[in-house]
Structures are given as C-alpha cells and as structure tokens.
Amino acid sequence: MRAIGVHEPGTPDALQVVDLPRPEVAEGEVRIRVHAAAVNPTDTLLRSGQRDLSRQPRPLVPGMDVAGVLEEIGPGTETTLGVGDAVMAIVVPRGTHGAYAEQVVLPAESVAAAPRGAGHDEASTLPMNGLTARLALDSLGLPSGSVLAVTGAAGAMGGYAVQLAKADGLQVVADAAEQDEQLVADLGADVVLARGEGFSERVRERFPDGVDGAVDGAMLHSALVPAVRDGGTVVTIRGYDEPAERGVRFQPVLVVDYAREQQKLDALRQQAEDGVLSLRVAESLPAEQAPQAHRRLEAGGVRGRLVLSF
C-alpha cells in the first residue's frame, strides 16, 4: 500500500512515498479506499518533530482527514454505511497509521457519509476542522444571542467556527486581514475587525463589556484576554492554558475527544449539504507532492485546505 511518511522528522523534504502492509479490518472497524487527504497544520508538527514521537513506529504517516469509498466492513461491525458508499472520516495518527495513505482502517464511529454533491477533495476538508470547531463551541456552551469572538476566521477551522456559531444563534465578531475581510463577512461574521495587534482593543470598542467567549484559531493566547468579559472563556487549540486576569479562563480542546462522535460528524455532513458549512479547497495535489503542500502551508496565506489525492 502506498503512503506518504517520514522515517525521521525534518523539513518538508523528509516526506516521501513509502510502501506499507495493507491494514487488516477487525470487529468495529471499516476500511476506506482513500481518494483525498487534507493537509493541516497539525500534520506539519508531526512531520517536523515538534511532538514527542520517539516511541512510535516508523515511518510516521501524518494526516487526520480522509475522504474516499468504503471498501470493507469488519465482522460484527454496526454501521448504517455500506460498501461502495462515499465517506469521510477523522484519523488519529499514530506511527504508520495516518491519513496520507491509499487505505485506512478506522473505528466505524470515526466515519460518516460524505456530503451529497461534494467531491472527495471537498469532503476531506470537513472532519478534523469541523469537529474541532464543533468541540470548541460545545465547550463554551454559550446560549443563543451571546457574542463570540473568532480569531483565525479566514482559516479552515476558524471559518467553520464562524459558520457553526451563526447556526447556533450566536453573534460573531471575527478577525481578518484586509484581503480576507469579504471572505470572513461572507462566512457570516456580524462584525469583521482587522486581525493582529490591537484586535482585543478593537473588540472592546464595539463591545464595551467584552465578548462572552472566544475561539482562538490564531493563537493570540493572552493577547485575546482583554476582548473577553469578566469570567468569560477562551478556547485554545494547541493546549495553551495559563492563568488570566478578571476570572477569564483558557479552555484547551483536543479534537481526539470527538474522534468517535459519529453523530456529530454526521451532523456536520448534513450542515454541509444544507449550505450552512462551506467546504473550501485551496488546491488538490498528487500525493507525491506532499512536500510542496507542506511548504505552501507553512509559508502562510492558504485559504481553504490543500488536499493530497491518492
């Protein structure tokens, strides 16, 4: 089986085509013939060695999002899906198990039907980023009518956070670079403010009491605290959790906590079909061009997701 992995972490050029054994299906699992795998920032962290992977088997295969065709259902596995269905799934990578591969075997709870009308490339952009945004909003638990700040709103996760928050009945203030202001407004943000230094102060000018909560896709961390009301919460996506003033707290979220929440993944599928969520593909590249994809992502400015095709 063809996959893309690294024998030792390093630069994007460490990514190479590797040959792996075909994964076997057990009870509770399904096999997917992968046609598309989205490229996410977390993939670059794995590839570059910014996480402790010393005990994991080599090669390391990155990737947390796949879309393709359901190929096999394990014995005794309960699923409403059938062989031949177009599906999407979230992958929790470990060692040789990652999304950058021709085939993956996953728990049935990690797999949902792909949105009708979406191609494999589009469907692959939804699971990890969509579930991260859903988890962030669920962790905040803000009632309808509350005000939410979203940073990194032009990115994949931030964009889903804006759209899901609007569907939840929240008022959204989001950041954007000048060239992304219309994009973020089109995603549904009620107020779009200039990103970067001074964002919190600009939020306070519009909302003097502060927003009720925030999803920090841009990783502003402590710089976002002034935008939040006393006792409010900032959801972080890379584990950031430090003391803050005025009773504001940081709430780190890890998407692996939703990796088997099939109903939530299927709800995202329905929202994509209904036009609530926009599936944004920046470009599709052959899997062998994974190094180029990682270089482009790390250079910044990518809107939507780069996708590797298998």
- The secondary structure of 262-287 as a DSSP string is HHHHHHHHHHHHTTSS---EEEEEEG
The pLDDT of residue 52 is 79
**Residues 115 and 134 grouped into a single domain:** no
Q: Which of 31, 21, 17 is nearest to 1 (CA)?
A: 21
Q: What is the DSSP secondary-structure string of 31-83?
A: EEEEEEEEE-HHHHHHHHT-S--TTSPSSB---SEEEEEEEEE-TT---S--T
Residues 174 and 65 in one domain: no
* CB of 130 closer than 8 Å to CB of 267: no
CA 53 – CA 120 distance, rounded (Å): 30
CA atoms of 202 and 241, how far apart (whole Å): 24
Same domain, 186 and 211: yes
In a domain, 196, yes or no: yes
The strands making up 249-252's β-sheet, listed across from edge to edge, are 191-194, 171-176, 147-151, 211-216, 228-236, 249-252
65 located within any domain: yes
Q: What does the alpha-carbon distance between residue 130 and residue 117 come to, in Å, rounded to a whole number?
A: 18
Q: What is the pTM of this model?
A: 0.97
- Residue 122's pLDDT is what? 98
DSSP three-state, residue 303: coil
136 shares its domain with 248: yes
Structural domain containing residue 184: 129-255
Which pLDDT score, from 0 to 100, does residue 53 have? Answer: 80
What secondary structure does DSSP assign to 189-214, as a single string? -SEEEE-STTHHHHHHHH-TT-EEEE
Which of 218, 240, 255 is the last residue in one of the domains? 255
Q: Are residues 121 and 22 in the same domain?
A: yes
Domain identity same for 51 and 144: no
Question: Is residue 263 a part of any domain in this protein?
Answer: no
For residue 16, what pLDDT is reported? 98
Residues 139 and 94 in one domain: no
Is residue 200 assigned to a domain? yes
User: Is residue 270 in a domain?
Assistant: no
Distance, in Å, from the CA atom of 287 to the CA atom of 101, rounded to the nearest integer, reads: 9
In a domain, residue 43? The reply is: yes
CATH number at residue 47: 3.90.180.10
Give pLDDT, residue 54: 80
Peptide bond before 208: cis, by omega within 30 degrees of 0?
Answer: no
Question: Is there a single domain that holds both residue 233 and residue 287?
Answer: no
Decide if 267 is inside a domain: no
* Amino acid code (one letter) for 286: P
pLDDT score, position 27: 98
Residues 133, 120, single domain; the answer is no
In a domain, 261, yes or no: no
Task: State the distance between the two ends of the chain, measured CA to CA, in whole angstroms.
Answer: 11
| Other residues' Cβ atoms within 10 Å of the Cβ of residue 57 | 11
* 7 and 120 fall within a common domain: yes
**Residue ranges for the chain with pLDDT beneath 70:** none
The total number of structural domains in the chain stands at: 2
Same domain, 213 and 160: yes
Task: Tell whether 120 and 148 lie within a shared domain.
Answer: no
